[in-house]
């Protein structure tokens, strides 16, 4: 069912993950994670069914029940809740806040730009991917 406005579970960040599969690949890491029950999974443009085609139970990965073929296009559309009481990423009070440490890999959506207030620290092993034509500004 479609609707316009804030989803009933709160404001969210929508992230698209696109991966070209390897032969037999079953596990796909989802950029930025997801709320369990709020991830749409596609293989070669076909919407898959949770439980019948894949499992998505841990908030970070999707596991296909049948391995992909090399070159298959895996796409997920996932959602993360903006928790205004702890994350403070969105506010009507005139101040936008972000954490001072980035603890998980993040990819700026192609065609979009990112803005953060610094200084920032990247946790060990964590990366931020900036697609060609996009920018990430730290002020």
Q: 60-65, long-range: CB within 8 Å, 24+ apart, which pairs?
A: 60/29, 60/30, 60/33, 60/34, 61/27, 61/28, 61/29, 61/30, 62/27, 62/28, 62/30, 63/26, 63/27, 63/28, 64/25, 64/26, 64/27, 64/28, 65/26
Residue 91 lies in a domain: no
User: pLDDT: is 120 or 97 the higher one?
Assistant: 120
| Angstrom distance (rounded) from CA 1 to CA 75 | 21
Residues 66 and 126 in one domain: no
Regarding whether 74 and 26 lie in a shared domain, the answer is: yes
The answer to whether position 29 is within a domain reads yes
For residues 77 and 115, membership in a common domain is answered with no
pLDDT tens string 9-65: 556 677 899 999 999 999 999 987 888 888 999 999 999 999 999 999 988 899 999
Please determine, for residue 133, whether its predicted confidence score (pLDDT) is greater than 80: yes
Task: Dump the DSSP string for 78-120.
Answer: EEEE--TTTT--S-SSS-----SEE-S-EEPPTT--EEE-S--
Does 104 score more than 80 pLDDT?
yes
Residue that wins the pLDDT comparison between 54 and 5: 54
Q: Give residue 1's pLDDT band: very low, low, confident or very high (50, 70, 90).
A: very low
Per-residue model confidence as pLDDT tens digits over 73-103: 999 998 776 554 444 655 555 667 778 888 8
Instruction: Look at the block and give the residue holding tokens 């946790």.
Output: 123
Q: 57 and 24, same structural domain? A: yes
Beta bridge pairs of residue 136: 114
Q: How many domains does the chain have?
A: 2
Question: For residue 111, what are the domain limits?
Answer: 101-138
């Amino acid at each position: 069912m479609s609707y316009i406005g804030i989803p009933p579970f709160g404001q969210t960040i929508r992230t698209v993950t696109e991966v070209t599969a390897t032969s037999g690949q079953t596990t796909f890491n989802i950029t930025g994670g997801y709320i369990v029950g709020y991830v749409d999974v596609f293989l070669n443009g076909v919407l898959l069914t949770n439980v019948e085609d894949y499992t998505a139970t841990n908030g970070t990965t999707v596991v296909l029940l049948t391995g992909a073929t090399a070159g298959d296009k895996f796409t997920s559309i996932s959602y993360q809740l903006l928790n205004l009481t702890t994350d403070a990423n969105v506010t009507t009070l005139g101040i936008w806040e972000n954490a001072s440490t980035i603890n998980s890999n993040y990819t700026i959506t192609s065609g979009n730009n990112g803005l953060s207030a610094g200084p920032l620290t990247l946790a060990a092993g964590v990366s931020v991917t900036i697609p060609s034509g996009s920018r990430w500004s730290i002020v």
